[in-house]
């Protein structure tokens, strides 16, 4: 299972929100590259980079931060937040992203999202399946669509999606545990989907459980920044 630390960017700084609330922002480091290098130095190979300004503005904003990390590390970066147009996705890939995550766009402009899947291939496009009370959350979790998670995943797996990041918004940033039951259900229903669990991961034991469930990867954010899980502990994965 892949260990994937998260760096969320606002104003070029490494921050974390609580349940997607921009009013509950905490800055952890002024220099995201420094944070990325610390992950790489611990043997981690992947990074989940989120442009929170972009998610709010509905177009890519922090591509220079992406480019800086991609240029100065060997990390495999998946990038998301505000990618809403052909121009946005081209900027992301040209700035060094190995994969791009699309969530809102997959709900609001399905044809465009599917055109990216066809153009760039299933290895480079990740479906962002953020969920709140069973329905898909969009626009940086500011809205909930009238679209059940299972229907969303079923539709896109039939269209060829191989990777999905599923974040339980109700768990995110609270350090109160992740949605193990939800991920068990998804793995049972979509066994061929490379599921990346995200939101609320707080302990090494949870990571071990996600590995047993058969998740492809796990995204860890606040638990690292708050010292609940150390990079040394993660090295065994």
What is the 3 state secondary structure string of 15-69? EEEECCEEEEEEEEECCHHHHHHHHHHCCCCEEEEEEHHHHHHCCCCCHHHHHHH
H/E/C letters for each residue in 109-164? CHHHHHHHHHHHCCCCEEEEEEEECCEEEECCCCEEEEEEHHHHHHHHHHCCCCEE
214: nearest Cα among 190, 178, 232 = 190
pLDDT for 142: 66
Instruction: Report the percent of the chain where pLDDT is more than 90.
Output: 79
Question: Does the pLDDT value for residue 47 go beyond 80?
Answer: yes
pLDDT at 189 over 90: yes
Indicate whether 143 pLDDT > 70.
no
Q: What is the pLDDT at residue 191?
A: 97
pLDDT of residue 144: 75
pLDDT over 90 (residue 60): yes
Q: Report how far residue 192's alpha carbon sits from residue 200's, in angstroms, rounded to the nearest whole number.
A: 24
Rounded mean pLDDT, 210-236: 95
What pLDDT is attached to residue 114? 98
Active-site residue list: 8, 130
Whole-number CA gyration radius for the chain: 16
User: Which of 23-27, 79-83, 111-115, 150-154 is least confident?
Assistant: 23-27
* Residue 105 scores a pLDDT above 90: yes
pLDDT of residue 172: 72
Question: Which pLDDT does position 17 carry in this prediction?
Answer: 83
Architecture of domain 2-234: Alpha-Beta Barrel (3.20)
Nearest residue to 221 via CA among 9, 70, 64: 9
């Amino acid at each position: 299972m892949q260990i994937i630390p998260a760096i969320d960017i606002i104003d070029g700084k490494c921050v974390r929100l609580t349940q997607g609330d921009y009013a509950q922002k905490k800055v952890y480091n002024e220099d995201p590259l420094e944070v990325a290098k610390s992950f790489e130095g611990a043997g981690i190979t992947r990074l989940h980079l989120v442009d929170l300004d972009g998610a709010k503005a509905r177009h890519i904003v922090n591509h220079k931060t992406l480019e800086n990390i991609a240029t100065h590390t060997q990390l495999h970066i998946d990038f998301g937040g505000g990618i809403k147009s052909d121009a946005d996705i081209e900027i992301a890939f040209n700035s060094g992203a190995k994969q791009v995550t699309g969530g809102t766009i997959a709900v609001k402009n399905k044809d465009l999202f599917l055109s990216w899947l066809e153009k760039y291939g299933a290895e480079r496009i990740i479906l962002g399946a953020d969920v709140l009370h069973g329905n898909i959350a969009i626009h940086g979790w500011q809205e909930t669509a009238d679209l059940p998670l299972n229907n969303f995943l079923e539709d896109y797996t039939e269209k060829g999606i191989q990777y999905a990041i599923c974040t339980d918004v109700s768990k995110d940033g609270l350090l109160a545990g992740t949605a193990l039951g939800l991920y068990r259900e998804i793995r049972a229903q979509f066994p061929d989907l490379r599921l990346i669990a995200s939101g609320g991961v707080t302990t090494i034991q949870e990571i071990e459980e996600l590995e047993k469930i058969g998740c492809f990867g796990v995204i860890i954010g606040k638990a690292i920044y708050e010292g609940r899980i150390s990079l040394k502990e993660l090295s065994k994965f």
